[in-house]
């Protein structure tokens, strides 16, 4: 039985919730107001702050609010463009960056591969952008992030995680080989070190399960995989203070993103969970 409300964070998160929301909102507004002239702020930090704000609203039961939609849009765009800046050699071109809710864009010089451009960030950006549903952002930015750029990051990931990025691209394109690429990922999960093996078993394996059923248009199977993923998500993120007190514990981004894509492809998502607020699909 899935929980009826998010109970994972420690008490201090709830005690400081409104204060932190106000602080994040003020900081985001300040950054966005000055972004055209002061272009030195970090897109990854902007995305992380917006995601935390979205998570805090989910804790309040306000995932369907206009404010939540604003934070989702900021997070999706900031995370995606941070990857595009890493996709080309440092200083080789200027990239036009658009961060909602404002309609005006600004330009950033590319930075080349770096510590923040790794598979976990790509997958987070992918799920957020599926929820926000900006096909142009996925197709012109995320699908074009090169495998070798993610491999060049100083933040190293297990080999299966790079395969999972390629599987997600194939899934989005509805490529004929998507099921095959998805099935390649679990095969690379053997013999991982402790923490990596735990994440693979509790989180990544269920990502593959949801992707596989979605690729096959198996609605019943997809909903079963979503329910399994959510139960495993709660077990994984409850362990340890750092895990349970972050926004990726309060929202199951893989289930949210893939459920959003499933709905776009005509499938019904019937699973109910506070970690899967349907207002974000």
Average pLDDT over residues 251-258: 98
Residue 5 falls within a domain, yes or no? Answer: no
Residue 3 falls within a domain, yes or no? Answer: no
Residue 262 near residue 280 (C-beta atoms within 8 A): no
* Per-residue pLDDT band at 231 (split at 50, 70, 90): very high
Alpha helices, H only, the chain:
11-15, 17-34, 43-59, 66-86, 119-132, 135-140, 147-151, 159-173, 178-187, 194-199, 205-215, 219-238, 241-244, 247-250, 253-264
pTM of the shown model: 0.95
Residue 242 falls within a domain, yes or no? Answer: yes
pLDDT at 67: 96
Residue 4 falls within a domain, yes or no? Answer: no
Residue 203 falls within a domain, yes or no? Answer: yes
Overall domain count for the chain: 1
pLDDT digits (tens, 9 = 90+) for 104-117: 788 899 999 999 99
Residue 205 falls within a domain, yes or no? Answer: yes
Other Cβ atoms within 10 Å of 264 Cβ, number: 12
Task: Report the percentage of the chain scoring pLDDT > 70.
Answer: 96
Task: Output DSSP code: residue 142.
Answer: G
Residue 2 falls within a domain, yes or no? Answer: no
Domain that holds residue 171: 11-280
Residue 1 falls within a domain, yes or no? Answer: no
pLDDT at 29: 87
């Amino acid at each position: 039985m899935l929980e009826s409300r998010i109970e994972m964070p420690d008490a201090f998160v709830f005690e400081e919730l409104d204060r932190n929301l106000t602080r994040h909102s003020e900081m985001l507004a300040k950054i966005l107001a000055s972004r055209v002239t002061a272009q030195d702020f970090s897109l990854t930090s902007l995305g992380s702050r917006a995601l935390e704000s979205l998570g805090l609203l989910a804790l309040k039961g306000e995932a369907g609010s206009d404010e939540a939609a604003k934070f989702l849009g900021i997070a999706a765009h900031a995370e995606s463009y941070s990857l595009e800046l890493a996709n080309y050699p440092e200083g080789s071109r200027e990239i036009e960056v658009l961060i909602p809710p404002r309609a005006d864009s600004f330009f950033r010089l590319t930075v080349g591969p770096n510590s923040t451009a790794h598979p976990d960030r790509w997958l987070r950006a992918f799920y957020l952008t599926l929820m926000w549903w900006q096909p142009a952002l996925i197709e012109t930015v995320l699908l074009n992030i090169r495998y070798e750029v993610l491999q060049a990051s100083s933040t190293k990931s297990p080999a299966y995680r790079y395969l999972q990025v390629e599987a997600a691209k194939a899934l989005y394109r509805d490529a004929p080989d998507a099921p095959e690429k998805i099935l390649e990922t679990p095969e690379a999960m053997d013999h991982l070190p402790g923490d990596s093996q735990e994440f693979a078993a509790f989180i990544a394996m269920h990502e593959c399960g949801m992707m596989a059923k979605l690729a096959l248009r198996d609605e019943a199977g997809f909903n079963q995989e979503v329910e399994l993923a959510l139960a495993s998500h709660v077990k994984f993120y409850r362990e340890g203070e750092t895990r349970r007190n972050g926004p990726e514990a309060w929202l199951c981004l893989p289930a949210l993103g893939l459920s959003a894509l499933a709905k776009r492809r005509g499938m019904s998502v019937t699973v109910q969970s506070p970690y899967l607020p349907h207002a974000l699909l």
